[in-house]
Amino acid sequence: MNSIDDFVVLLRDELALSVTPEQVRQGFDAVPSWDSVHLLSLCTVLERETGRPLALSEVLEAPSLEAVYRLATGS
Amino acid sequence: MTQEAVRRQEPPSAPADAWARLVELHEAGELAAHYPRVRELLAELDDAAVLRAGNLLARLDPQQVLAAHPGTPAPGIAVTGHGTLSALRPALVAQAARHGLLARVELSDFDSWVFDLLTPDSDLYAARPQFALCVLDAEVVAGELPVPWSVADAERVLAAKLALVERAAEVFAQAAPGGTLVLNTLPLPRELTAQLVDLRSRARLGVLWREANVRLLRLPERWSQVVTVDLDPLLAAGLPARDVRQSVYAKAHLSAELLAGYAREVGHLLRQAAGGGKKVLALDLDGTLWGGVLGEVGPEGIEVSEGYRGEAFQRFQKVVRQLAAQGVLPAVVSKNDLEPVLKVLREHPGLAVRDEDFLQVRANWAPKHENLAAIARELNLSVDSVVFVDDSSFERGLVRRELPGVAVVAVGEEPARHVEDLLRDGWFDVRELTAEDRARPERYKEERARQDFLDTFDSLEGYLRELGVSVTLAPAAAEQIPRVSQITLRTNQFNLTTQRLQPADVEALAQSPDAQVLTIASADRFGDNGLVGAVLLRRAGDTVHVDNFLLSCRVFSRGIEQAALATVLADARATGARRVVGRYVPSAKNGKVADFYLRSGFVPVAGRDGEPGDGPGGEQAGPAEAVFEHDLADVPPPPAHIRLTARLRPAPEGNETA
């Protein structure tokens, strides 16, 4: 996973979330049919993809999907 | 073409294609419109992909699916429990869809299980779910321990929680008649035991914890509505009990993997309740039952019982026998010449499952789906009752495509995993095993002898006379209740209304003063058929309603159904009834009895348009039902070739109308 575009593909394939890169940058409110429970599955998926543990407490406080992406990739 | 050449071909539909097709349907908003196709696509996917598919399917509005496919069985499932259980919804939806069902899942508020289950007027009960899942975890106990805590504290909290669960079972039995309450054992976290530093206390906690789990596992003995899913075997298979961060931060105290395994077990419960019972285990031979290709290496060369791989295959053979002892009907479907196969099955000294264990041996070069269809036909079963096991992805793919109702089990190149692969899904799970189940393979073998006997007669009448059929019609005794329930759950063809009844429902009917639960038992010169059918009657004034009439497919067309119905009619007239009313509700499988009442002297009175069913959980009713009436003016005698013993009510003294 090297870019937001890869992240968008991952969200679609793993969580059945159809989002645009634009919505990823905005807050969770902008994401269609977002549910906070998706965050739990997303953590599992991201840890598997990146092979790195994720600070779940920080993810749960992240303001947007982009912030989650940055936590996962360390960027 | 050699077997190996066949194996190298691409399967007709690959997993990646199936996933792509699912996503395509989802994005086009067409999943609901193509719902029957979903089962076929899921069958192609591995476990992880099935879970991902659950995320897509969980977005579907069940009403849209039902609007497009009104006949889809759609069990209502209430999920309640202790922690965050959101991962369970997609898992349940996907598992149900694998079986062609549409799960209507209602997730309760966080940690509301006590209120949901102990309050008879809770929203959970108001929704009349067919299944209520009460998912508990170790935090139910750990979360209430004081700091510091001792074993005595744990004992006290465990006892209090168990009392609540037992009370829940009691209230459920009253408040949700016909429903099923699913409980689970509590995984014991090391994080808890290790907080006790002295080994004696630690062992004592282990004892208390397991005693609590034993009590949970014993609940179904007292309450037939309760099923307890034992999580220990899932944990022993390597599933993580939890992700501690998810537990601490998100209150998800059971891992997503464990919930997925749990959902798989619940999926099989849903399947059985919807009548999707599996009976036949159809096995490939080369690479499945033994190692090597018989046609190439000969009987001496195949790996049956000796050497590393032989031993692995023998484990698998023993499990096949183990299943057969519990009513599963094994059969062989192999691309081989018949003679060498029969020789191995009869004579190979190491083979743990032999020719007499198989009801059918189909070794030929015809496509396997044709052989599977022929096996089902010969056994008078629906092909959907077949579980097919093969190591060739080509053969599996073809069978999946041609016979989507067949459960296809993949075994791989590593025979040590065959047993695990076969048992991963509980295809043959039943709520309760009856004596009939155990005797089933024997009964089918007798049936084969009957068929051979039939072939020696010119006319069916002559055959039936010589067959010496005896029929006993009697009220269901207490010990027959589970079997009657099972007949309603598993009989699909000769099932006039397809109303499924759990044991508790049958018991309630049997005790109702207006209703009669009659059992049909039969025997003939080849043996005892056992309890083969049931007639459910209800009296309202001068009308006797036949609420359902069921007969096992093994004994159709021998005059047994006519004998039973004639007895019911004669009894109705003798006890002052003016008419007998019977209903036929069409299902996907019961077309052959659509004219059962017409052929028996009834006349149609009304055809009602489908209304929502009033069965447990408000199952969706199928298309229009038909109602028939018999005016009792001319009651036919039972067929002359049948020796009939009838006792329609539990009268203390001679009320026999032989």
Distance in angstroms (rounded) separating the CA atoms of residues B338 and B316: 22
The type of residue at B553 is C
**Per-residue b or e along B618-644, where b marks 16 or more CB atoms closer than 10 Å to that residue's CB:** bbbbbeebbbbbbebeebeebbebbeb
What is the per-residue pLDDT across B339-348, written as a single tens digit (0 to 9) for each? 999 999 999 9
Chain B residues close to A20, C-beta within 8 Å: none
Q: Residue B539: which H helix or E strand, with range?
A: strand B527-540
* Interface contact flag, B86 A15, Cβ < 8 Å: no
3-state secondary structure of A75: coil
Q: Please give the full DSSP string across B39-57, using - where no structure is assigned.
A: HHHHHTS-HHHHHHHHHHH
The answer to whether the CB of B532 falls within 8 A of the CB of B589 is: no
pLDDT single digits (tens) B260-269: 999 999 999 9
Confidence of residue B48 (pLDDT cuts 50, 70, 90): confident
User: Can you point out the beta strands (E) in chain A?
Assistant: none
Residues in chain B closer than 8 A to A16 (CB atoms): 26, 52, 55-56, 59
Question: Is the CB of A41 less than 8 angstroms away from the CB of B26?
Answer: no
* CA–CA gap between residue B138 and residue B151 (Å, rounded): 15
For residue A15, the chain B residue with the least C-alpha distance is: B55
> How many residues in chain B?
658
User: Mutating which of B21, B55, B61 best tests the A interface, going by the most A Cβ atoms within 10 A?
Assistant: B55
* Rounded Cα gap, residues B266 and B54, in angstroms: 15
* pLDDT beyond 70 at B621: no
CB atoms within 10 A of CB B599: 11
CB atoms B243 and A44 under 8 Å: yes
Measured CA to CA, the distance from residue B344 to residue B307 in angstroms comes to 18
Query: Which residue(s) pair with B528 in the sheet?
Result: B523
Do B250 and A56 make contact, defined as CB atoms within 8 angstroms? yes
**Taking CB atoms and an 8 Å limit, are B246 and A56 in contact across chains?**
yes
pLDDT for B619 equals 38
Query: Residue B623's pLDDT is what?
Result: 55
* Distances, alpha carbon B331 to alpha carbons B86, B363, B375, B421, in Å: 41, 10, 8, 18
Binary contact (B59, A16; C-beta < 8 A)? yes
For B224, the token pair is 């037939």
Structure tokens at B589: 């499988």
| Average pLDDT taken over every residue of chain B | 90
Angle between helices B256-273 and B481-490 (to 10 degrees): 90
Find, among A55, A37, A64, A75, the residue nearest to B256 by Cα. A37
Same fold, B73-273 and B456-646: no
E-strand stretches of B348-469: 360-364, 386-390, 407-410
Q: Judge whether residue A16 has pLDDT over 90.
A: no
- Compute the distance between CA of residue B301 and CA of residue B294 in angstroms, rounded to an integer: 7
In chain B, which residue's Cα lies nearest the Cα of A59?
B249
b/e burial code for range B386-422 (CB count within 10 A of at least 16 → b):
bbbbbbbbbbbbbbbebbbbbbbbebeeebeebbebb
Kindly list the domain boundaries of chain B, sorted by start residue: 73-273, 280-423, 456-646
Q: Identify all chain A residues contacting B26, using CB atoms and an 8 Å cutoff.
A: 16
**Is A56 close to B252, i.e. CB distance below 8 A?**
no
**Do B244 and B191 touch, CB atoms closer than 8 A?**
yes
Q: Using an 8 Å Cβ cutoff, are B386 and B375 in contact?
A: yes
Pick among 1.10.3470, 1.10.1200, 1.20.1300, 1.10.8: CATH of A4-73: 1.10.1200
Q: In whole angstroms, what is the distance from residue B164 CA to residue B450 CA?
A: 55
d(CA B228, CA A10): 36
Q: Shortest Cα distance from B16 to chain A (angstroms)?
A: 12
Helix axes B151-175, B199-222, angle to 10 degrees: 10
**What is the β-pairing status of strands B280-283 and B386-390?**
parallel
Question: CA of A13, closest CA in chain B: separation in Å?
Answer: 8
pLDDT at position B251: 92
Query: How many residues belong to chain A?
Result: 75
Answer yes or no: is pLDDT of B86 > 60. Answer: yes
Residues belonging to chain B with any Cβ–Cβ distance to chain A shorter than 8 Å = 23, 26-27, 52, 55-56, 59, 84, 86-87, 243, 245-246, 249-250, 252, 256
Q: Are residues B496 and B546 in contact, defined by beta-carbon separation less than 8 angstroms?
A: yes
Topology (CATH) of B456-646: Aminopeptidase (3.40.630)
* pLDDT of amino acid B611: 41
Does residue B576 come out as left (phi exceeding 0), alpha (psi in the -120 to 50 range) or beta? left
Cα–Cα distance measured from residue B26 to residue B293, given in angstroms and rounded to the nearest whole number:
43
* pLDDT for the residue B652: 59
Is residue B335 scored above 80 in pLDDT?
yes
From A57's Cα to the closest Cα of chain B, the distance in A is 7
Residues of chain A whose C-beta is under 8 A from some C-beta in B? 12-16, 18, 33, 35, 37, 39-41, 43-44, 56-57, 60
The pLDDT value given to residue B5 = 42
Q: Cβ separation of B252 and A40 shorter than 8 Å?
A: yes
Q: What is the pLDDT of residue B380?
A: 85
The count of other CB atoms within 10 Å of the CB of residue B277 is 20
Structure tokens at A16: 């059945």
Q: What is the mean pLDDT of residues B3-31?
A: 72
* B654 three-state secondary structure: coil
Phi first, then psi, for residue B470 (nearest 5°) are: -120, 145
The answer to whether B292 and B302 have CB atoms below 8 angstroms apart is: yes
For residue range B521-565, list pLDDT tens digits in order.
999 887 888 899 999 999 999 999 999 999 987 787 788 999 999
Among B23, B27, B87, whose Cβ lies nearest the Cβ of A40? Answer: B87
Q: Where are the alpha helices (DSSP H) in B334-459?
A: 338-347, 368-378, 393-402, 418-423, 435-454
Chain B contact set for A43 (CB, 8 A): 246
Shortest CB distance from A44 goes to which of B84, B249, B256?
B256
CB of B91 closer than 8 Å to CB of B133: no
Q: Cα angle vertex B304, ends B303, B308, to 5°?
A: 60
Hey, are the CB atoms on B252 and A14 less than 8 Å from each other? no
Using the predicted structure, report yes or no on whether residue B323 has a pLDDT greater than 90.
Answer: yes
Q: Would you state the pLDDT for residue B651?
A: 61
CB B160 within 8 A of CB B172: no
Tell me the mean pLDDT in the region B114-134: 97
Encode pLDDT of B628-652 as tens digits: 999 999 998 888 889 999 988 876 5
Most B CBs within 10 Å: which of A19, A44, A71, as the mutation test of the B interface?
A44
pLDDT tens digit string along B198-233?
Answer: 999 999 999 999 999 999 999 999 999 999 999 999
Q: Which of A14, A35, A60 sits opposite B52 (nearest CB)?
A: A14
Residue B465 has pLDDT above 90, yes or no: no
Can you give the residue ranges of every domain in chain A?
4-73
Nearest CA in chain A to B53: A16
CA distance B195 to B113: 28
**Which CATH number applies to B280-423?**
3.40.50.1000
Single-letter amino acid code for the residue at B406 = V
CB B411 within 8 A of CB B391: yes
- Indicate the residue of B59, B249, B256 with minimum beta-carbon distance to A41: B256
State mean pLDDT over A3-21: 88
- The CATH class for the domain spanning B73-273 reads alpha beta
For residues B617 and B19, the model is more confident at B19
DSSP string, B382-408: -GGGEEEEES-HHHHHHHHHH-TTSEE
* Short-list B620, B560, A17, CA closest to A9: A17
Across the interface, whether the CB atoms of B84 and A33 are under 8 A apart is answered: no
pLDDT above 90 for B484: yes
**B388 phi, psi to nearest 5 deg:** -115, 130
Searching chain B, which residue's CA lies closest to the CA of residue A40?
B246
Report the pLDDT value the prediction gives residue B72, as an integer from 0 to 100. Answer: 95
| Structure confidence at residue B85 (pLDDT) | 94
Residue B253: closest CA among B167, B140, B353: B140
What residue in B sits closest to A13 (Cα-Cα)?
Answer: B52
Closest by Cα among B114, B111, B113, B118 to B174: B118
Q: What is the pLDDT of residue B10?
A: 45
Both structure tokens of B16: 């990646």
Q: Of all helices (H) and strands (E), which one includes residue B540?
A: strand B527-540
Higher-confidence residue of B516 and B436: namely B516
Examine the pLDDT at B76 and tell me if it is beyond 60.
yes
Q: What is the ipTM of this complex?
A: 0.87
Give the lowest-confidence range in B256-270, B313-327, B421-435: B421-435
* Better-predicted residue by pLDDT, A65 or B618: A65
pLDDT in the model for residue B524: 86
Summarize the confidence of residues A30-37 as an average pLDDT: 79
Rounded to whole angstroms, the Cα distance separating B256 from B556 reads 47
The pLDDT assigned to B556 comes to: 77
Reported as a pLDDT band with limits 50, 70 and 90, residue B320 is very high
